Amino acid sequence: MRAQHTEASLPTASALELVLKCAASAALPAVYTAYEAADEGTDLHATTQRVARTGEAPSDERTAAIVEKLPAWAAEAGTEAAFAYDVRADTGRYLGANLHHVYNQTPQEFAGAADWSRHSDGLVRVLDLKTGRTETPRARRNWQVRTLGLAFARAANADGAEVSILHAPPEGTPWLDVAVLDAFALEEVADGLRTAASRIRAERDAVRKGETPRLTVGEHCRHCKARFSCPAWAGATDRALGLKDATPAQRYEALKQLEAVVRDVKRRVYEDARAERIDLGGGRYFGVHATTERELAGAVVYDVVRELHGEEAARIATSFDASFAAIERAVRPYAVKRGDLSALKERVTAAVTARGGLKTRETREIGEYEEGT
């Protein structure tokens, strides 16, 4: 589950980098999407946390490289511990572990979870692992770990916090950056968070009144979940396409033209890639590359599993798939003269229907159609 900002809650610590560039990103309606890369990152976090805790041998090079960079204290640390910092009371609290982004913080609190955290010898430590390609600010300027460090320090009555970033992009060598925040540095973070909270409230007020919030457009917009509702982007797209005062029908026609353009560009990119792979930089290429897929023959799997484990297991290991086209292929050899094929197909379909093997499901989708069809 992904936490969403509500009118009442402040954004999570991981969103602060963006929020401090453009507070409107925490005020406009957001669209949350799940990406495969994000799921991969979650798996990698869980694996490295387990390997660091148990000392088991890493099963792949990337995990090994990350674990090698981890500081020694991570082996004894807690993982996925969530903390909240209250901007009005200037206090911090521990919320629990493995909360999966559901923090239930008060309206005055910024909350977030640390991949690794530990409190020992009067010092609190937090470490965040980044596994994506996006550039990550160094620990001393990183709002996510600074906020977590502040919340943890206030919760533990500690005067300072050690905050670390371990960045392990898919390509390249992981780097670890550590910063120690003393009492003054923590106060500076607290100040920044108070400012962020009041700017967010101001922009939310503007949106509530139907006014346009203050927008700061830039490279950071790529990561903004509110981009689809942002007037800066909607306006820019309409202006670029000449659709400012377009009717729905004109927008639809423009969409068809755009799709044709995209198809054309795609065709040319694929032609180029087929002739020679395209160098995208950073060790990435777009071009022909071999992958191996293993395909099981259903009938053989069925026989083998039935011999070894019986009928029930064989049915679980395989699946039945049917279609009208497959029925036609199956009965075609039994059709002797013209017209037989349709009759044979209808006979099979009628028998299947009689045994409850044909279900009709209505689906509704948006598409172009002619009246009466």
- The binding site for ligand SF4 (CB under 6 A) comprises 22, 24-25, 28, 215-217, 220-221, 224, 226-227, 230, 232-233
Who's near 117: CB < 8 A, 6+ residues apart?
77, 78, 79, 81, 83, 124, 125, 126, 127, 148, 152
Who's near 214: CB < 8 A, 6+ residues apart?
23, 24, 203, 206
Nearest distance, CB of residue 226 and ligand SF4, angstroms: 5
Tell me the C-alpha distance between 144 and 192, whole Å.
12
Nearest distance, CB of residue 285 and ligand SF4, angstroms: 30
Nearest distance, CB of residue 213 and ligand SF4, angstroms: 7
Q: Based on CB atoms, which residue is closest to ligand SF4, 131 or 144?
A: 144
Who's near 93: CB < 8 A, 6+ residues apart?
83, 84, 86, 151, 154, 155
Q: Based on CB atoms, which residue is closest to ligand SF4, 228 or 324?
A: 228
Nearest distance, CB of residue 251 and ligand SF4, angstroms: 21
Helix axis angle, 143-156 to 183-208, nearest 10°: 110
Best CA proximity match to 158, nearest among 123, 209, 110, 113? 123
Nearest distance, CB of residue 137 and ligand SF4, angstroms: 16
- 3-state DSSP call for residue 224? coil
Q: Based on CB atoms, which residue is closest to ligand SF4, 231 or 283?
A: 231
Structural tokens at position 244: 């400012």
Q: Based on CB atoms, which residue is closest to ligand SF4, 222 or 355?
A: 222
DSSP 282: T
Nearest distance, CB of residue 233 and ligand SF4, angstroms: 5
Q: Based on CB atoms, which residue is closest to ligand SF4, 73 or 233?
A: 233
Note whether 164 and 146 are within 8 A (CB): no
Q: Based on CB atoms, which residue is closest to ligand SF4, 104 or 216?
A: 216
Nearest distance, CB of residue 24 and ligand SF4, angstroms: 4
Q: Based on CB atoms, which residue is closest to ligand SF4, 112 or 213?
A: 213
Note whether 149 and 162 are within 8 A (CB): yes
